[in-house]
Every structure is written in structure tokens, then in C-alpha cells.
Amino acid sequence: MIETGEGSASLIMVMLAMLAGRSLSGRGRIWVRIFNGIIGFALVPMLLVSARTPQETWAATLFASLYVVLALACAVPMRTVHPCELGVMPDAFDGVAPKRVWAAVSRRLELPQSRR
């Protein structure tokens, strides 16, 4: 691959999708995420503008939509998680945790709590 360059496009596509996913993840500084989004999603308008025939337009639309889905899939493992929103701390996942989660949900929904 280093000598001929064959197969480098797939690596570049994955790296660009990971940059785009990083911009959608919600982690990091905002200016870094904006920069990653500009670099990562720059491929989509370039593909759509470069199509000349209906077949090329269809292929570019299909590829661009699948690229955006790949970028969204790359963003899933990098999302921020706030376990405190559920009402439990991360180290409290023991036998009492489901009761705490139900208590937090019922407080939010204003449901009557069971007495046990």
C-alpha cells in the first residue's frame, strides 16, 4: 500500500468519518469540534457538486448519505455520558441501584412511589 497507494482511500474515508463523528460527539472544545466537522464533512458537498450525469448524482447521493451514517456511527462511542442524570452515581450499581433509578424516574414523572 505504501508503494502503490492502493487502498489508501478506505483509510482516508474512515479517518474523515472519525473526525466528523468526533465533531458530533459533544466532547472537547467547541473550536476543535467545529474544525473537525469542517474537515470531516467537507467531502459531502464536494461529492454532490461534482456529479454531472443522473447516474453520478445517484451514486454521489448514496455515497454521501452512507458517509453521514458512518460519521454518526463513529460518534456513538465518543458521546458524553452523565450517569447523574439518572439519579445514581457510577459506583452505585449494586442491588439498590434499580430502586434509585426508579425513584429518580418517578420523581421526574411525578408518579406515586411504592412503599416497601
Q: Write the pLDDT tens digit of every residue in 20-77.
A: 999 988 888 889 889 999 998 998 888 889 889 999 999 999 999 999 999 999 988 8
- Same domain (yes/no): 107, 63: no
Domain that holds residue 110: 81-116
Q: Which residue has the cell 473537525?
A: 36
The answer to whether residue 87 scores a pLDDT higher than 90 is no
Structural domain total, the chain: 2
Q: Read off the DSSP letter of residue 111.
A: P
C-alpha cell belonging to residue 70? 458512518
Distance CA 111, CA 113 (A): 6
The whole-model pTM stands at 0.63
In a domain, 3, yes or no: no
Residues 115 and 67 in one domain: no
d(CA 42, CA 20): 9
Same domain, 73 and 104: no
